[in-house]
Amino acid sequence: MQTDAIQKALETIAASRALRERQLANRAELQRKAAASAKPLYVLKSKRQLEFRLQ
């Protein structure tokens, strides 16, 4: 009986570790996709590009 409880605990620990590893992998993939997404080079306001005056 005691070995069954120990075995069940070890299986639970293994399952939680696998879940955590999958979550970390998913989070890393989402961060990679967010970093790879194109960032706008200029700001649009009312569908026309803002002009920046150089001094």
Query: What is the distance between the alpha carbons of residues 30 and 36, in angstroms, rounded to a whole number?
Result: 10
Q: CA 26, 31, 32 angle in degrees (round to 5)? A: 95
Q: What pLDDT shows up at residue 6?
A: 95
Q: What pLDDT shows up at residue 39?
A: 63
Backbone angles phi, psi at 51, to 5 degrees: -100, 135
Q: Which helix (H) or strand (E) holds 48?
A: strand 48-49
Backbone angles phi, psi at 8, to 5 degrees: -65, -40
Tokens representing 50?
A: 């803002």
* pLDDT tens across the length of the chain (55 residues): 789 999 999 999 999 999 999 999 999 999 888 877 756 556 666 655 556 666 5
